[in-house]
Structure 1
Amino acid sequence: MSTREDILARVRANLGVNADDVARLRAARAALAAGSSGPRPHLQGDLAARFRAKSEAMASTVDAVATLSELPGAVARYLVSVGLPLRATCWPVLAGLDWVAAGVMIEARAANGDDLTGITGCFCAIAETGTLMLASGPDTAATTSLLPETHIAVVPVSRIVPAMEEGFALLRAEQGDDLPRAVNFVSGPSRTGDIEQTIVLGAHGPYRVHLILVEDRPSPDSGP
């Protein structure tokens, strides 16, 4: 046994780690590195259509625009339809759009408890379950999707993937070892059924989630 192995063996012994524990850890690391997956459902048809149907089934509302330049107008129409002020906080990547022409007052910053509406992009979207995958970062604050009562998310159709496995594979492919501190999955408005098994929206976060699908292809970063 080498000096290094001897030292590590003593450390393991003092920590109560035996050879079986080490073998299981190595096996787990090898399985993760292999990237194998178990049986999965086969998704048929258009991913965007499935994502929309699954999202609406979980009480999200969904709109669609052809290009990102149409986003401010779509946001303005939605805010008016639900009786909200034409004001929101957004991820910085969206701040350069023509919000003034749409009559929407935008602040490119992380949301706080006083903000009624937060607008985000998404890292990708999961067609199988109608779920948003959001990766946190300096310009993709998690609070913007969690604190306001209304969350509006921009979903490029090109970033809709079949399932969560493809979402994590895309994250590893694009960010490598520089993974985000947090990855949040959003499947419709926050809800609970703890009280008399009655579903209540907005229990732990937004009680409105509005998704705007964008047909054109964005830059391949984490948003929008």
Structure 2
Amino acid sequence: MGSEHQQWLEAMEEKSRRRQEKFMDDIAAKLQRPRLRHAPTHVFRGAPDFWHELEWDEEQRIQAFTDNFVSVGAHIVRVQDLGEAAQFITNKAHELSAKYLIRQNEQVLNDLGLEEQLPDVQISVWNSAPEVDWKARAAEADIGIVMADYATAYTGSVTVLSSPEKGRSVSLLPTVLVLIIPVQRLYTRLGETLHRFDEAGREQLPAGIHFISGPSRSSDIENDLTIGVHGPGVVYGVIVG
């Protein structure tokens, strides 16, 4: 880099800094308070102790999650085992006259045996063939089936992680989403999920961490609530166990 070019960059940076300072000074003046040049000291950091101590038993977690999930337009089904979960999906596919279903590439979902139970429905397994455009295939699906990695009762949300076997498109693009939620993955507080990512460290984070709290909802246009604009319009949570 030539010296003239370097001098020009330094001059532009100095000009930008002066503009930033003036901008912040103007804000401080309008607020009638002095500029803060250093970050204030935080006496408290993180959640208070009483929040860390909040813990519900299994039935309380299930009830709270159900209430919160249903309140935003989703549906909850409770089954005893994966066999009943498979039967629910089979019945729902027939009820909706589904022609095409896509699911994550996980052993638990393999064990559902949907291919045998739904011989008249085309079923694809995410990323099982390298030549396929899997995003396009997910967009064509009537139903997407996803395993929950975690779920939070207090917020009524399901956490789904991305990986080569667990494409986010399976939960984002089909018309209907079915979330399989093992009861042992249902926790009271969101922090019980988030701290796992802190412990794993930055290098171990998945490609995506998605929080699903019911069907897609948008009020961007004239504050008119619309369902299913940015994702599935119908969501079923199947609590197993």
Which one is further off, 94-103 or 35-44? 35-44
Within a 5 Å distance, the mapping from 1:14-53 to structure 2 comes to 36-38=46-48, 40=51, 42=54, 44=56, 46-53=60-67
- Structure-2 change in CA distance of 1:43 and 1:54 (3 Å): farther
The match for 1:12 is none
Shift in Å at residue 102 of structure 1?
A: 2.3
> Which of 129, 139, 144 is the equivalent residue of 2:155?
129
Shift in Å at residue 36 of structure 1?
A: 4.1
CA distance in 2, matches of 1:144, 1:194: 24
- Structure-2 change in CA distance of 1:73 and 1:86 (3 Å): farther
The match for 2:29 is none
2:72 paired with 1:63? no
Unaligned ranges ≥5, structure 2: 1-16, 18-36, 127-133
Larger radius of gyration: 2
Number of corresponding residues:
190
> Which of 72, 78, 96 is the equivalent residue of 2:111?
96
Name the SS for the 1:138 alignment partner.
coil
**Alignment RMSD, CA only?**
3.0
Q: Which amino acid aligns with 1:97?
A: L
> Which of 84, 103, 107 is the equivalent residue of 2:97?
84
2:192 paired with 1:182? no
Superimposed CA distance per residue, residues 144-196 of structure 1 (whole angstroms, 9 cap, x where no aligned partner): 000111111100110011121111123445x4541102111111101112334
CA distance in 2, matches of 1:95, 1:135: 18
- Structure-2 change in CA distance of 1:87 and 1:151 (3 Å): same
Shift in Å at residue 44 of structure 1?
A: 4.7
For the Cα contact (< 8 Å) 1:54–1:129, is it kept in 2?
Answer: yes
For the Cα contact (< 8 Å) 2:86–2:112, is it kept in 1?
Answer: yes
Superimposed CA distance per residue, residues 184-216 of structure 1 (whole angstroms, 9 cap, x where no aligned partner): 11111011123343321001111111111111x
Shift in Å at residue 43 of structure 1?
A: 5.8
- Structure-2 change in CA distance of 1:86 and 1:71 (3 Å): farther
- Structure-2 change in CA distance of 1:152 and 1:111 (3 Å): farther
- Structure-2 change in CA distance of 1:178 and 1:61 (3 Å): same
- Structure-2 change in CA distance of 1:163 and 1:121 (3 Å): same
CA distance in 2, matches of 1:78, 1:157: 21
Q: Which has the higher helix share?
A: 2
Unaligned ranges ≥5, structure 1: 1-15, 216-224
The match for 1:195 is 221
